[in-house]
Amino acid sequence: MDLDLHMAPDLTAPAQARKAIAGLGGHVDGDVLGDTVLLVSELVSNSVKYGKGDILMRVRTRGSRQVLVEVVDDGGGFSPAVRRPSRFQAGGFGLHLVDELASSWGVHAGTAHVWFEIDRSADLAAVA
């Protein structure tokens, strides 16, 4: 299943993104869906806080255990830095969570185009 969502860069964008991802519930396994909702919320929140222009979220599913997500805004880009924030910090967990939960992720150089993939298809093969 494919999903493209265009959002204004305002405080409602993360909730819009979470709602759209939750709508994939019949197509994506629960653990993949939960992690996807969390990571999308973090990335869209970063776009609202640091980005420029409208936000595009693009989601591609490949079976029930694989999800590819892209979050894009018109910002000039950044150098991704995964910090290990203190549990007493109010923020700074976004890329740390992406790094911990995604199978792979990255940023297109010179852009504010962040992507991540959750691929748990191998988990099923190991059980079989």
Mean pLDDT of the chain: 88
Instruction: Name residue 44's amino acid.
Output: V
Structure tokens belonging to residue 73 = 């805004």
Bridge partners (DSSP) of residue 3 are 59
CA dihedral 90, 92, 23, 56 (to 10 degrees): 130
Lowest mean pLDDT among 3-12, 67-76, 78-87, 108-117: 78-87
For 20-34, letters b (16+ CB in 10 Å) and e give bbeebeeebbeebbe
Higher pLDDT, 6 or 94: 6
When pLDDT is cut at 50, 70 and 90, the band that residue 110 belongs to is: confident
Residue 95 has pLDDT above 90, yes or no: no
Write the pLDDT tens digit of every residue in 19-55: 999 999 999 999 999 999 999 999 999 999 999 999 9
Containing structural domain, residue 49: 2-127
Split into its structural domains, the chain has a count of: 1
Which pLDDT score, from 0 to 100, does residue 79 have? 65
Which pLDDT score, from 0 to 100, does residue 76 have? 83
Which pLDDT score, from 0 to 100, does residue 83 have? 59
Q: Which CATH number covers residue 65?
A: 3.30.565.10
